[in-house]
Structure 1
Amino acid sequence: MTSLSAACPCGSANSYAACCGRWHDGPQALQAPTAQALMRSRYSAFVLDKLPYLLDTWHPSTRPATLEPNPPGLKWLGLSIKQARDQDADHATVEFVARSRLAGRASRMHEVSRFVREGGRWYYVDGDLS
């Protein structure tokens, strides 16, 4: 669990409460205003094992039935947003690199994620790994 005043796991200069925390819980929950804000909040949710949030923000057409929590010892090292593009008012892509380490072995995930907005809410659809 992250303190609300701690730095946000997504790497922004804001506190968790002023950044991704507001999308995870409270009156603004699930209301990330852009695909990039949703991407950052999903990364933070992965770091914090907020599995219900991840499922709730995954588009129903591609959402898995369940997610596994982080394995013991996994350390998330950071998120880098390479590019965010709006195709139109309801479709966007975000290219990112997420880094982690497990059992002394570093890993990086480079993905171009697709997002769609339906009913005023952004959802993660899927992504292409590179």
Structure 2
Amino acid sequence: MSPVGQAALLVSFPVAAGAVGSTVAAVRRPGTRVVSGIQHFAAGVVIAALASELLPDLRHEGNLGWAAAGFTTGVVLVLALAAYGRRLDTREETAETKSVVRTVAVGVPIGFLATEVFSPGLRV
């Protein structure tokens, strides 16, 4: 089998899974637990790929400490942004229950802003 054929075969599985998953989600919206489970699974796949593909090379080059520090900083930043988002949600709910008019920053893409601040050259 040619390399292109092999690549097409390997790529067809995630493409098919994405098509089936999006069709099912369009018919019946998944609950928060299912969405959370999928997100945690995806995070596990990313961490497994990092551990198996990148870390051995970084250890060989002597940059493992910097990679671990960057990974830890990223995790702390994501957890801090999540806590900040929950705090904003709580304030919004409190304002609604007390019938107090408050201006709450809704729709501000904090994650994208943080990404732009910490890695300005990164384009997705």
Higher RCO (C-alpha under 8 Å, 6+ residues apart)? 1
Q: TM-score, normalised by structure 1?
A: 0.23
Compare the two structures and name the one with the higher strand fraction: 1
Q: TM-score, normalised by structure 2?
A: 0.24
